[in-house]
Each structure stands twice: as C-alpha cells, then as structure tokens.
Amino acid sequence: MASTVIATCNEQVLCRRGDALVLARRPSAPGPTWVFVAALLAGIAGVNGVIQSVLAATGDGHPLAAAVLLGLAALAGLALGRVLAVRRRAAAGPPVPELVFDPGAGVLRDADGRVIAALADVRLERRMQLGSSSRALACAWPSGSRVIARGNPFGESVDTIAETLAPLVGPAAKRP
C-alpha cells in the first residue's frame, strides 16, 4: 500500500498508510546545523576576502590575507556543496519505519507489528534536549517512552508531527 507524507521534522517522516500513521526515519545525513555553519563560514571569509582584496588593490590591505580568506571561503563553499549533496542523497533513500499509530485497532505498534500500547494510554510529551534550544517530542506509554522527533533551531520544529498525532493519542483520542 502506498504511503503519503503528511508531516516532517528533520530526519523524521510521518506517513499515512491507509488508516494508520507510520513514523519513519530517513537515512542519516548531516543536520541543518552543518549547512548553517558551512554557509556562515563561506560568507564571512568571502566578504572579508573581497574587502581585503579591494584594500590590497589600493595599497592599504594585505594581499596575503586576501588570498587566505578567499581560499577559506572557497573551501567552506566546497564543504557546503558536499553537505548539501549528502543531505539530498540521504533524503532520496527510503525511510525506515519505527512506530505505527493504528487508530483502526486503537493501538501503537513497533516496526515489527508488535503491539506496544493502546492509543488511549499513549501521551505525547515535549522534552528539553541537552545542548539545544529546541524541544524533542516523546511518545510515552505505561511501560516506557521513546523520543520520536528532535527539533532543531536551524531546521524544523516538532510542532507538525505533534499536531498531527495529538488527536490519535491519550484519553480524549478520537476513535473511528
């Protein structure tokens, strides 16, 4: 059965497959932070290299500094291109299923189809991430919990996945 992507959060993808929602993970790739840092380094080094080149042409700058900065900008630009290429290749790969929210049966299943918990017993929780200002989204049930999506200040937040799953879980979950 074909699936349709209905929400994403960085490497996590939420797909509709029939009545069920499948939470899957795209193959690993450098995160949005790598793109931001490479672009920032290329931009800063490039602008400063151009300024130093102009100053060197007028006799006030340092030609060696201009060459070094322009070289660093070129290297950071190449790194940015490589990071973007790796991200595109990873995004093209098939996502790996992790959890299945099955409202028809009223259960949460793992990737192998084993029942984890009733959807009425499942809660969505926003949790802090160590080393990030963005929140993570966790799925909790009576016998355990699991982080299902991690936000990123340079990427996507967990909001779209949380809003899509919220009506399916908890005591007030809508049942077919």
State pLDDT tens for residues 57-92: 998 888 999 999 999 999 999 999 999 998 888 777
What pLDDT score was predicted for residue 34? 86
Mean pLDDT of 18-24: 89
Q: Which two tokens stand for residue 80?
A: 């940015």
Alpha-carbon distance of 139 to 164, in angstroms, equals 13
Check residue 2 and give its pLDDT: 62
Distances from the Cα of 59 to the Cαs of 37, 51, 53, 66, in angstroms? 32, 12, 10, 12
Can you give the pLDDT at residue 72? 96
Helix (H) / strand (E) containing 90: helix 63-92
Distance (Å, whole) CA 22 – CA 108: 10
Structure tokens at 121: 């017993």
* Residues 170/19, Cβ–Cβ less than 8 Å: no
Task: Report residue 176's pLDDT band, with 50, 70 and 90 as the boundaries.
Answer: very low
Stretch 41-56: mean pLDDT:
95
Say whether pLDDT at 95 is over 50: yes
